[in-house]
Amino acid sequence: MAGIALVLDLLKRNQGLSVHSHGLFSATVAASAAAATVAAGRPFASRFLYRDGGLSVAYCDAAATLDEDYVPDFRSAPESMLHHESTTYRTKEYPLELKPLFSAFRLKSLAMTSLRSFLLFYLPLLEPRPHVEDDDDFPEDGPVDKTDLIVPFQNSVKQIFREITVVTTRRVLERIAVHYVSQRMAWKLLKDVSRSAKRKAARGMSTQSFIFSVSRTTFRGHMLGVAASWIVQIVIDFYRCFIRRSATEAEVADKREKIRIYVKKVYGAAVKCTSSLIFASIGAGIGALFHPSTGQWIGCALGDFAGPIIIIVCFEKLNLQL
């Protein structure tokens, strides 16, 4: 009833004016009248059950500062609402592209891994050896050293299994990230870094901002790969320290020493992987200046390789054990 009385009072005060020219039934008056009417129909003690009257109204009080003679132009409202600037902004989507769990066993990936592993251990055997002049102390009839091809083959096979395990572990970590972190963070961890660097290069960013942005994106995108490498390394170290050799009485008595050595290896693997991640990010940011996608990939690979070497040299210079 209070709301109806308020409307009638306003009508008596403005009898000679048109409704459309002064907006008597504005959003503010209507909302206040409706809220007062509904609130008056309920006892004061029970209003908390309905959140202060049970009606939630949101309105704007910006018109309170305007003059009384202001008349809004409703004909221009649709044009401003349909302006192109209001339709160009969209909610950003975060598409997640999960690679197959056993992608490392595909023919192309397995062939590249095998070729890289065999070249890593067989190329040093092709290095020319220095020629030794004939001397009486070294007769020509002496035994000739033969190159051992079995050990490099075994090391190559071990390296192949290691890389396949690292890639598969990364795929498992990607699926864990998708299920247990936000969609936005999972997208940053799984995004294609080279493609992202190419998109950033088209934005016209400054050099410092571009390097920092690419380095940060590479750090996030390379994080799961480094974490998978660290997990595989500590599992290998655990096998070497506790499982590979048979447990004798002397080894059981020296179990504390084994634990100390294993903890030291875990710490060394963590330091090397962290340095690899940091230098890979820095190298990717610098390499992207030369080419957004290819330069980023080459810089990331060089930083990943050089990071552990640099940290080992620094620890040796400081007389620290790693």
Distance CA 56, CA 224 (A): 47
Min mean pLDDT across 3-17, 96-110, 199-213 is at 3-17
What's the pLDDT at 149?
80
Q: What is residue 146's predicted lDDT score, i.e. its pLDDT?
A: 63
pLDDT at 245: 65
**CA 136 – CA 155 distance, rounded (Å):** 38
pLDDT digits (tens, 9 = 90+) for 261-303: 999 999 999 999 999 999 999 999 999 999 988 999 999 999 9
**Residue ranges of the domains in the chain?**
2-82, 98-124+149-190, 193-322
How large is the average pLDDT for residues 17-25?
43
Token couple for 267? 């710490």
Percent of the chain predicted with pLDDT > 90: 34
Q: What is the pLDDT of residue 138?
A: 47
Nearest residue to 263 via CA among 252, 275, 255, 253: 255
Residue 197 has pLDDT above 70, yes or no: yes
